[in-house]
Chains A and B, each alone.
Chain A
Amino acid sequence: MTNHSLLKLAWQQTLAANRLPIWRALLLALTVAISIATLLAVLGDRLEQSLGRQTAELLGADMTLRSGRPIDPAIAERARSLGLETSGVIQFPTMIEAGDNLLLISLRVVEAPYPLRGKIVTQPTLPHLPEPGTLWAEPSVLERLNLKVGDQIELGYTTFTVAAQLTSTPDRGNGFSTFSPQVIINRQDLTATKLLGVGSRARYRQLFAGEPQALKQLEARIRASMASDERLITLDNSNNNINSSALNNASRYLRLGALLTLLISALTIALSLRRYTLNSRDRAAVLLSLGMTARQLQILFLLQLLLAWVACALVGTGIALLLEQFALVLLSDLLPQPVPLAQPVFYGLGALLGLVSLITLGLPPMVAMSQVSVMYLFRRTAAPTTLGGRVLQLVAGVLLTGLLMLYLEDLQLTLILIGALLITAWVLGKFGAWLLRISAFALAGKHTLVRLLRLRIQQQQRWHRMQIPVISLLLALMAISLWARSDLMERWQNQLPDDAPNHFLINIQPHERDGVDQVLDNYQLNSSLYPMIRGRISALNGEPVATAFTPEQRQHNALNRELNLSWTSEMPGHNRLVAGRWSPQADGDTAYISVEQAFANTLGLKLGDTLSFTVGSFPVDGVITSVRAVQWESFQPNFYVIFTPGALDNMPMSYITSFHAEGEQRKVAAALLQRFPTITLIDIDQLLAQARSLIGKLSDTSGMVMLLTLLAGLILVFTTLSQELDQRRYENALLHTLGATPQQCRQLDLLEFALLGLVCGGLAAALGEIALWFIHQRLVLIEPVLHPSNWVLLPLTATALFTLTGLLARRRVDESNSYRLLRTLS
């Protein structure tokens, strides 16, 4: 037989198969699997490139030095002498005011040449830097302040004209600033705004671009004298990026989400192929009787699989690309634009995964089928599952696991997860089947159909054990992800006392202190202003940091950046003394300090220890006399270290405070900014709203994945319901002959599905409560609560799902039923 005619036959056979529900289930499952695998591969890679990996276009340079302090001008000098281009950037949060609207933004101050790589796109198109006296703002700034290009706004002590809207820009910075709306101004305007005070949380960047050789030289030079809170970001060294570990976790989490879908789809594919090949034994036997060899038969069915794969790969990849666009729109605020395209290989990954799984899962039943004898056409003996089939099935399972491990790029996690899933599924299946049995037992005598129901449950046990874990796990997962989100958001807010501060005021200069106090008083806001100084820990009991602390301790944030230090004679009311005694004042030249509990524990600090700091370039020592417990989530100004008054006098300092403002009091913000344009007011409510929308967007994205998973689960249920159609057909025919009406047959099915739904929904609700309890107790630290609505909604949902898929699968039974019955009767 020529390849061409074999292919043609495969084509015709595939078209015919497309009319069979079981084959359609296979196609759907494969499409879903390919979609989700492609979606996560492509989206994951794009996110990783966008946030994790650096490109010159995103960085705005070939290399960037980041620091919490002004960068030594000598470095820029050095760069220029090496023939490199360089540019300094300062970025810090500040308030912007337009009419009644206040907004916390991230201000980026730039100087020519800028950017060194990539380009800023504005609307209208303007050259690379804002002219002095003008600013460029991102669309969200204009939107929220009700502004348009050409309007004027105040920044500190200066009035700016909005010259353009920022469409996309490289070098958005890192950390919090990437998520805040941004405004760009020219360096020449900075001094006049007076925004850059001691308390402004400015971050400094020096960008470099040019010859690789010169860059390497400069890099070596910088690294030789780099402080621990400085970061050098180069293109070939993405590990430098702070985002990358968080991102790795996020993408791993997403991939694990996909694992469930892929496993379910694999199960569906295996089951539908089993059914399909069983149904195709006739055809196989006929083809053998016409002279085809077993080998040709295998090729024929393999070609059919390939044809199905081509269609599913095209559709699945297409769906993935659509969903990817959708996800990118959802996440657009969170990502620096433009998001780089994924590497080409990722677009084909899902399809490839689909192909390999289809072949591995398809081969065992295909081989078994090709071994059917022509005798089968004369005498209906079941073709035995050959040893080869079993061995192949085992090989397929191992291969598939390996494949998933490759895809998830994490061997151990995949194994643990698959193991955990299998065990959970097994337990759920056993337990669920037992629940089904006892509930049918409990119903005995209540309805004439119950006897039949018990028989049915016995017969379908094998499939129930598959349906129950899949549906209850899926429903539990959906419920958990929905509740975890809303529980967190709601109760986080409820947990705060009503009078918890909802505004932070930072960057208050010493000369503004009394004025600010006065304004707050005018609005009946009582709050204390704390002095704040930034200093770095330099030694413990005279020993330098490098030797005084273990390598593990040296990882602590407090040793790697400047700390906020304060002083006061009275312990802040919202702190609690846990050890030592509070020292209200210094003893002559010896300053005393009070340290925060967790911080002290981690660094191994004890009462009586002397901690040395560098503030600016001055050394300051303090002896620990007390340890305080601090409620970090209280939204009060909190400090790791508080000095006795006096020790930090005459050092560059600012004040900080927080207060709770409500209703009319909220106008204090405008009043403050009117009088003190350079202070920064952080509106916690606004931040919370921002965080909420961020979490919302992230969970909408994961919701998309969940929907695909649910779809995969439904296809599996459909497939399992279609497995024993012959059994059900026979059973129904028997019932008919015993005088049951078609209506009663349907009732029996409905009863079965309702019971299944109740069991699955109940199990899902229970699983959900357990998981949520754990999440509340351990992860988000809120008081666990029950979710009564789950116990109603989940069983109802499960029943509906079973009934709907059952009706779909049943339709075929009814159709063929009358035909068969007529045959048997005649």
Chain B
Amino acid sequence: MNGPVSEIILSAQDVAKRFDTQAGTLELFSNISLQIQRGETVAITGPSGAGKSTLLSLLAGLDLATEGSITIAGQATHQLDEKARAELRSRHISFVFQTFHLLPELNALENVILPLEIRGTTDAPDKARSWLQQVGLGERLDHHPAELSGGEQQRVAIARAFATEPDLLFADEPTGNLDEHTGEAIIEQLFQLNRDQNTTLVLITHDNHLAARCDRRLHLHNGELKERRTAGALHD
């Protein structure tokens, strides 16, 4: 579905983030610029504490940069108030978390239905069911998170993330809580759906192997963001 004209879905221009702490001002990074096109898969790697999660929260419009500007689907986040940013997120963005964050009292199907219902989508149950089938859990619809393995829970989370048909999907260490084999399968799933849906995927990972499979790989270290060539890019 990639059109000939590549569309910039997410861009950052000279972004800096500083925190005021008791020990003085802490600058996590500065002068970060990047452009991500629709349908790309981007890995952000870097040592623990480098500021990956912070960067992700800026790119997802959850927080505002100290300097510079971030544009999501054509809208500059710093020009929007909290409410408008929440709307922007709700229209364009989904998240996948390291610890899944399913609602324990809802079964798999209900967990996937929830974001659809929040948006008032019609035939939410049908859509949710089909998403769960796509991640291979068509037989486990009425199972509660406690009855599912870690990998299965993350699949439900992935189905939930894709169900709202987002333009951008952010994942913070989605395989961090899974064993290697399961993580592999989950990633496979994620990439597959990403291709099918033409979603843009931004994921934080420690896993070099996983990072290597992405179209682009950005390494955050000492406040600088550097682009590295990846195997995924070679495929193109």
Question: Which residues of A pack against B, CB within 8 Å?
Answer: 1-2, 5, 9, 12-13, 15-16, 282-283, 286-294, 296, 373-375, 377-379
Contact = CB atoms under 8 A, between A and B. Distances in A.
Given A13-B105, A16-B105, A291-B115, A378 B172 contact: yes
B103 A1 contact: no
B62 interface: yes
Given A12-B105, A373-B62, A377-B101, A291 B120 contact: no
Interface in B198-214: none
B104 interface: yes
A282 B62 contact: no
A296 B57 CA distance: 22
Contacts of A283: 103
Contacts of A374: 57, 60, 62, 89, 95
Given A289-B95, A379-B54, A1 B118 contact: yes
A296 B119 CA distance: 12
Contacts of A12: 103, 105-106, 110
10 contacts: A2-B120, A12-B106, A290-B160, A291-B89, A291-B115, A291-B119, A292-B118, A374-B57, A379-B53, A379-B54
A282 B97 CA distance: 12
Given A289-B101, A374-B62, 18 more contacts: A5-B117, A12-B110, A15-B105, A282-B101, A283-B103, A286-B101, A287-B118, A291-B89, A291-B115, A291-B119, A373-B62, A374-B95, A375-B57, A377-B101, A378-B56, A378-B172, A379-B53, A379-B57
B102 to A, nearest CB: 8
Nearest to B83: A293
Interface residues of B, number: 28
Contacts of B53: 378-379
From A9, A283, A373, residue with most partner B Cβ within 10 Å = A9
Contacts of A379: 53-54, 57
A13 B106 CA distance: 9
B114 interface: yes
Contacts of A292: 118
Contact of B164 (A1, A291, A377): A291
Contacts of A5: 117
A296 B118 contact: yes
B35 interface: no
B86 interface: yes
A16 to B, nearest CB: 3
A94 to B, nearest CB: 72
From A287, A288, A377, A379, residue with most partner B Cβ within 10 Å = A377
A293 B85 CA distance: 11
B75 interface: no
A377 B97 contact: yes
Nearest to A11: B105
Nearest to B54: A379
A288 B63 contact: no
Contacts of A291: 89-90, 115, 118-119, 164
Contacts of A294: 86
Nearest to B99: A377
Contacts of B104: 16
A9 B103 CA distance: 10
Nearest to B60: A374
A290 B115 contact: yes
Contacts of A378: 53, 56-57, 97, 172
A13 B110 CA distance: 12
A289 B164 CA distance: 12
A369 to B, nearest CB: 15
From B56, B101, B104, residue with most partner A Cβ within 10 Å = B101
B103 A286 contact: yes
A388 to B, nearest CB: 14
From B62, B90, B172, residue with most partner A Cβ within 10 Å = B62
A293 B86 contact: yes
B147 to A, nearest CB: 15
A378 B89 CA distance: 16
Contacts of B106: 12
Contacts of B105: 12-13, 15-16
Nearest to A13: B105
A288 B95 CA distance: 11
A565 B118 CA distance: 88
A9 B62 contact: no
B44 to A, nearest CB: 12
A396 B89 CA distance: 34
B82 to A, nearest CB: 8
Contacts of A373: 62-63
Contacts of B60: 374
From A288, A289, A377, A379, residue with most partner B Cβ within 10 Å = A289
A375 B63 contact: yes
Contacts of A290: 114-115, 118, 160
Interface string B87-128: 001100001010001011110001000110111100000000
A9 B114 contact: yes
B83 to A, nearest CB: 8
From B57, B118, B120, residue with most partner A Cβ within 10 Å = B118
Nearest to B91: A291
Contacts of B89: 289, 291, 374
A380 B118 CA distance: 25
Nearest to A283: B103
B120 A1 contact: yes
Nearest to B102: A286
**A-B interface, 6 closest residue pairs, ranked by CB to CB distance from nearest:** A16-B105, A291-B90, A290-B115, A378-B53, A5-B117, A286-B101
Contacts of A286: 101, 103
Contact of A2 (B54, B56, B117): B117
A291 to B, nearest CB: 4
B114 to A, nearest CB: 6
A59 B109 CA distance: 68
Contacts of B83: 293
Contacts of B95: 289, 374, 377
Interface string B133-167: 00000000000000000000000000010001000
Nearest to A295: B83
Nearest to B115: A290
A286 B156 CA distance: 14
A375 B117 contact: no
Nearest to A377: B97
A378 B53 CA distance: 6
A6 to B, nearest CB: 9
B131 to A, nearest CB: 14
From A1, A2, A374, residue with most partner B Cβ within 10 Å = A374
A378 B172 CA distance: 7
Nearest to A286: B101
B175 to A, nearest CB: 16
A374 B106 CA distance: 20
Contacts of B114: 9, 290
Contacts of A282: 101
A293 B160 CA distance: 18
Nearest to A15: B105
A282 B86 CA distance: 17
Nearest to A288: B86
A2 B116 CA distance: 11
Nearest to A376: B62
B119 to A, nearest CB: 6
A385 to B, nearest CB: 18
Nearest to B172: A378
Contacts of B110: 12
A16 B57 CA distance: 30
